[in-house]
Amino acid sequence: MSVAKLTNAQSLRVIGQALDPLGINIFDLRKKGRDYTIWVERKNSEKKPTEEIHFATSQILWTHVARALKRKTSGGVTDPHNLSFLLRVLGHHLDNNAVDDFMIFWSTKSVKVVYGKKEENFTLPNLYEFGTGMYLKRPNLHTAK
């Protein structure tokens, strides 16, 4: 039996949904093969200063399906600081470039993505603008209800 393959956009959205309630907004993320590893620097914490979080494909797929069933239809564009939305936008960009393995270096002001021999830098407002553009291009946006 084969496992369904999620897009980078779908997987990164789920990861953003997991990180957001934890208040994590500075991290490094690596996708290699089918798994994702995140390194979070914890300051002012009794835990280890750098924490590793692993997401397996099966965990991401299960969470994606469960949340999709609960998700209501969006009435508009989301909050420009929503980590899940911004990661989904970045994932969409990676999908459009047919990227499999990559590294993301995320901070409160900028994002660096490295894949293959390419490096790209974004600001969070850049990603939000890309996201609103994606939303406006959705085919079901302008259909009558």
Does 144 score more than 70 pLDDT? no
pLDDT score recorded for residue 30: 97
pLDDT score recorded for residue 142: 45
Q: How confident is the model at residue 137 (pLDDT cuts 50, 70, 90)?
A: low
Mean pLDDT taken over the chain = 80
Return phi, psi of residue 12, to 5°: -70, -30
pLDDT score recorded for residue 124: 92
Q: Which helix (H) or strand (E) holds 5?
A: none
Does 27 score more than 90 pLDDT? yes
Taking the C-alpha atoms of residue 126 and residue 80, their distance in angstroms, rounded to an integer, is 10
Instruction: Write the pLDDT tens digit of every residue in 102-135.
Output: 999 999 999 999 999 999 999 999 998 888 877 6
Relative to beta strand 110-115, strand 102-106 is antiparallel
Q: Are 98 and 116 in contact (CB under 8 A)?
A: no
pLDDT score recorded for residue 141: 46
- Judged on CB neighbours under 10 Å (0-12, 13-18, 19+), 29 is buried
pLDDT score recorded for residue 99: 96
Strands (E), the chain: 27-32, 35-41, 50-55, 102-106, 110-115, 118-123
List the chain domain ranges: 8-136
Greatest mean pLDDT among 55-59, 81-85, 94-98: 94-98
Does 67 score more than 90 pLDDT? no
Q: In what order do the strands lie in the sheet with 35-41?
A: 50-55, 35-41, 27-32, 102-106, 110-115, 118-123
Ranges 34-38, 52-56, 73-77, 110-114: which has the least confidence: 73-77
Model pTM score: 0.78
